[in-house]
């Protein structure tokens, strides 16, 4: 026995002592393996991994940053107003750049290391405002996406599963798709802003309004995709089998339909965050979003446009934050779609 096992100790040990170590072979774990495969596919998509990292960094910065950074986004310091950002030193003549970085005050440039990103016309620290604004923008993006997702999935599953309401719900979806959404969103914000502000306070009122506005105007693509998938699912044998053993509609949807349409829902969720962030910024940029003392990326961009010539950094940073976040989220969505749907790989 020892002789036979001698040349191959590893094999014998594995076979005899620890069968658990052999377990992770995907075949033994049908539910876990799918997601592991998805993750493996996702990791091989370079753009998606880069997007995930960038998104993670931005998310960490806006979540943790405000605790670490000593300034408050709404705190005004009128003496330090209109400070340039520190890299404005690079515009100086070549010889003065070094001394400017060491001691910005001596070079005649209004810049300082206390406010490395500069301040606005009221002396509010731009870095603090960027991080605070990012929190709001992200929160709006995620909340609006969640609302749109719930609505879209509900409509899509109902339309795909119950034949009676299919025609009606899809006409309704088409009607929503034919609405001029941005104009109507602008109208809704302008019309209901004051009432909601009175009811919930100026910050939560507009937050609720914008989240609802974006949510109810962006559920339609999800609904259509989900409906299509549910219709295809309904023809499959396992649904027939489940029906044969007497599964009710509620249980059927919860246990058999929803888990199987999860992948298109996840992809629309990712892309939904991106569109929601852009829409919120667009509203703020048109002056119809959050109030000026409540920074979001779009609002910062809007405020910065007036000072475009002298202080381009006030426009560039918020815009870059929006674009990078959306770009990262779009790449994540791309990778996720490839990973979840093998037929689409390489498109």
Partner 1 sequence: MLTYTIRRIGIAIPTLILIALTIFLLLELAPGDPMAQVPLTVPAEVKQQMRLALGLGEPLPLRFWKWSVQVFWIEPQVFVDWLTRDSWLLGWLPDTNLYDGRLRVISWQTRGPVFDIIVQRLPQTLWVVGLAYVVGVLIAIPIGIISAYRQYSWFDNAGTFVSMIGFSVPPFFSGVLVIVIFSVQLGWFPSIYDTTHRVTDWDSFVLQFKQMIMPVMVLALQTTAQISRYMRASMLDNFGQDYVRTARAKGLRERSVVLVHVLRNSMIPVVTVVALGVPAIFGGAIITEQVFKVNGIGQLFITALQANDLPMVLTVAFIFAVLIIVFNLIADLLYGILDPRIRYD
Question: What is the smallest separation between the CB atom of 267 and partner 1, expressed in angstroms?
Answer: 15
Whether 126 contacts 133, CB under 8 Å: no
Least CB distance to partner 1 at residue 308 (A): 6
- DSSP sequence for 181-232: HHHHHHHHHHHHHHHHHHHH-HHHHHHHHHHHHHHHTS-HHHHHHHHHHHHH
Q: Which is nearer to partner 1, 54 or 266 (CB)?
A: 54
**Least gap, CB of 198 to partner 1 (angstroms):** 10
State which residue, 42 or 331, has the beta carbon closest to partner 1. Answer: 331
What is the C-alpha to C-alpha distance for residues 333 and 339, in angstroms, rounded to an integer? 10
Nearest of 278, 275, 265, 277 to residue 155 by alpha carbon: 265
Q: Quick one: 159 or 189, whose CB is closer to partner 1? A: 189
Q: What is the smallest separation between the CB atom of 111 and partner 1, expressed in angstroms?
A: 19
Min CB(205)–partner 1 separation in Å: 14
DSSP state of 8: -
Nearer to partner 1, 101 or 192 (CB): 192
Q: Least distance in Å: CB of 313 to partner 1?
A: 10
Listed in sequence order, the residues at least 6 apart from 101 whose beta carbon sits closer than 8 Å to its beta carbon are 86, 89
Q: Which candidate, 178, 201, 207, 205, places its Cα nearest to that of 280?
A: 207
Which residues of the chain form contacts with partner 1 (CB under 8 A)?
47, 174-175, 178-184, 186-188, 190-192, 194-195, 274, 278, 281-282, 285-286, 288, 298, 301, 305, 308-309, 312, 315-316, 319-320, 322-323, 326-327, 330-331, 334, 347
Least gap, CB of 186 to partner 1 (angstroms): 6
Q: How far is the CB of 199 from partner 1 (least distance, A)?
A: 12
- Of 41 and 173, nearer to partner 1 (C-beta) is 173
Distance CA(125)–CA(287), nearest Å, equals 21
Identify which of residues 151 and 188 has a Cβ nearer to partner 1 in the complex: 188
Secondary structure of residue 92 in the 3-state scheme: coil
What the block records as the tokens of 285 is 């940029």
Query: 188: exposed, middle or buried (C-beta count within 10 Å: 0-12, 13-18, 19+)?
Result: middle
- State how far the alpha carbon of 74 is from the alpha carbons of 133, 200, 295, in Å: 11, 20, 8
Secondary structure tally for the chain: helices H, strands E: 15, 0
∠ Cα 86 92 93 (to 5°): 150
Judged by beta carbon, residue 124 or residue 193, the one nearer partner 1 is: 193
In the bound state with partner 1, the residue whose beta carbon lies nearer, of 215 and 298, is 298
């Amino acid at each position: 026995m020892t002789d036979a096992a001698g040349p191959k100790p590893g094999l014998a040990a594995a076979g005899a002592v620890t069968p658990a170590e052999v377990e992770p072979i995907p075949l033994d774990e049908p539910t876990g393996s799918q997601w592991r495969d998805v993750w493996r596919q996702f990791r091989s998509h370079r753009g998606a991994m880069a997007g995930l990292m960038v998104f993670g960094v931005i998310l960490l910065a806006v979540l943790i940053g405000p605790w670490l950074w000593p300034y408050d986004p709404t705190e005004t310091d009128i003496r330090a107003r209109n400070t340039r950002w520190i890299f404005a030193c690079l515009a100086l003549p070549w010889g003065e750049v070094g001394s400017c970085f060491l001691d910005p005050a001596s070079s005649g440039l209004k810049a300082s290391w206390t406010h490395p990103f500069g301040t606005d016309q009221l002396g509010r620290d731009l870095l603090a405002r960027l991080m605070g604004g990012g929190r709001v923008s992200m929160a709006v993006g995620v909340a609006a996406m969640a609302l749109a997702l719930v609505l879209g999935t509900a409509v899509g599953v109902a339309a795909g599963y119950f034949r009676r309401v299919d025609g009606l719900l899809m006409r309704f979806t088409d009607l929503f798709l034919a609405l001029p959404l941005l104009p109507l969103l602008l109208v809704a914000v302008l019309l209901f802003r004051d009432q909601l502000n009175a009811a919930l306070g100026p910050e939560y009122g507009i937050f609720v309004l914008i989240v609802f506005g974006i949510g109810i105007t962006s559920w339609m693509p999800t609904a259509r995709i989900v409906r299509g998938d549910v219709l295809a699912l309904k023809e499959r044998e396992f649904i027939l089998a489940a029906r044969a053993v007497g599964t009710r509609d509620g249980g059927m949807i919860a246990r058999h339909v929803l888990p199987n349409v999860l992948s298109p829902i996840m992809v629309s969720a990712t892309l939904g965050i991106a569109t929601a962030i852009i829409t919120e910024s667009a509203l703020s940029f048109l002056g119809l979003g959050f109030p000026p003392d409540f920074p979001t990326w779009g609002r910062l961009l809007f405020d910065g446009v007036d000072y475009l010539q002298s202080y381009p950094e006030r426009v560039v940073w918020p815009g870059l934050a929006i674009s990078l976040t959306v770009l990262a989220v779009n790449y994540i969505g791309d990778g996720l779609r490839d990973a979840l749907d093998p037929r689409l790989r390489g498109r």
